[in-house]
């Protein structure tokens, strides 16, 4: 590794629904890329349910910026040319959401983000983009809206409309207590369903959208590698469909999908599954491909 030349960095953020998890979860991923010539790091962040630290999704973004600033300083102290450090950021599940949100919205990153790696990220908290697979034999081979609607009619897929949990997360995103105004938003207190026509809910959604990566997509949004799975009852392929539709709407074609048809959301519980091994191989190849294409060191 030549400290005076361009050096490539990968920063990964762990999953855990923004309220749990540890940076050590991503050690195997970091070691894999470190062995292939990357400077790699993983980071922890304040949990959204940490009431003692003024937590919010925006505080977490500032923490990402602080970590990147420290990486830059530490590498400079070790003799690396700080003007030739290049960075891609990624994560798993909620960590991937944070990576997307940072890459898309944070305009003054201490090191410019060249591309982002999205492994199963939720890209919104709007309940219409969430669903449950009611039949374990169902896999979503087709990611188009028409197919999802067909599955809903066939009672294979159930939309998660009026989700109480997602509304609580919107509160946490904004630094509120999770139950703030929840009672006033309920359609039926017995069923614990949110009335999405309620003005308080609409106001909350309007403010929470600043924590959704989809809100920031434009023609200049950084290239994005996505990995989603066919049996994900937590996030679901519809999040990729929605994100891709926003790219298309803005005339940006720099987004690609790796699709693992037979795996659930918790892919790391299936590390011996042939499709997992193939998917991780595809992801590694795609990251190397993006490195060659978007890092300056490979284009001079």
The predicted-structure confidence for 179-207, as pLDDT tens digits, reads as follows 999 999 998 878 788 999 999 999 999 99
pLDDT surpassing 70 at residue 136: no
| Confidence (pLDDT) at 94 | 97
| Confidence (pLDDT) at 235 | 87
| Confidence (pLDDT) at 138 | 64
Distance of CA 113 to the CA centre of its chain: 15
Of 116-125, 171-180, 226-235, where does mean pLDDT reach its minimum? Answer: 226-235
Domain ranges of the chain: 7-124+212-298, 131-207
| Confidence (pLDDT) at 205 | 97
pLDDT surpassing 70 at residue 99: yes
230 SS3 class: coil
Q: Of 280 and 136, which is predicted with more confidence? A: 280
Alpha-carbon span 101 to 215, nearest angstrom: 9
| Confidence (pLDDT) at 191 | 79
Mean pLDDT (whole number) for 86-104: 97
Alpha-carbon span 164 to 123, nearest angstrom: 18
Give the tens place of pLDDT for each residue, 138-187: 666 555 667 777 878 888 777 777 789 999 999 999 999 999 999 999 98
The CATH superfamily label for domain 7-124+212-298 reads Alpha/Beta hydrolase fold, catalytic domain (3.40.50.1820)
202 SS3 class: helix
| Confidence (pLDDT) at 16 | 95
Of the pLDDT bands very low, low, confident and very high (cuts 50, 70, 90), residue 222 is very high
Alpha-carbon span 44 to 147, nearest angstrom: 38
């Amino acid at each position: 590794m030549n400290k005076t030349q361009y050096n490539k960095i990968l920063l990964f953020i762990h999953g855990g629904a923004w309220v749990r998890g540890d940076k050590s979860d991503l050690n195997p991923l970091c070691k894999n890329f470190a062995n292939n010539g990357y400077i790699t790091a993983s980071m922890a962040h304040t949990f959204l349910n940490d009431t003692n630290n003024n937590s919010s999704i925006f505080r977490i973004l500032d923490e990402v910026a602080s970590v990147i600033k420290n990486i830059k300083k530490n590498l400079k102290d070790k003799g690396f040319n700080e003007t030739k450090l290049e960075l891609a950021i990624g994560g798993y599940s909620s960590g991937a959401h944070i990576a997307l949100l940072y890459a898309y919205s944070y305009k003054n990153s201490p090191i410019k983000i060249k591309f982002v790696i999205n492994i199963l990220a939720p890209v919104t908290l709007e309940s219409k983009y969430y669903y449950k697979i009611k039949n374990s034999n169902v896999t979503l081979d087709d990611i188009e809206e028409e197919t999802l609607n067909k599955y809903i009619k066939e009672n294979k897929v159930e939309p998660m409309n009026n989700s109480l949990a997602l509304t609580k997360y919107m509160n946490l995103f904004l630094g509120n207590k999770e139950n703030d105004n929840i009672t006033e938003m309920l359609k039926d207190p017995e069923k614990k369903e949110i009335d999405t026509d309620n003005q308080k809910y609409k106001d909350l959604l309007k403010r929470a959208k600043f924590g959704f990566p989809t809100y920031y997509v434009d023609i200049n949004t950084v290239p994005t590698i996505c990995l989603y799975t066919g049996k994900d009852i937590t996030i679901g392929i519809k999040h990729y469909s929605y994100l891709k539709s926003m790219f298309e709407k803005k005339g940006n074609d720099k987004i690609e999908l790796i699709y693992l048809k037979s795996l659930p959301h918790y892919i790391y519980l299936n590390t011996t599954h042939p499709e997992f091994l193939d998917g991780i191989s595809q992801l590694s190849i795609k990251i190397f491909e993006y490195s060659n294409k978007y890092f300056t060191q490979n284009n001079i």
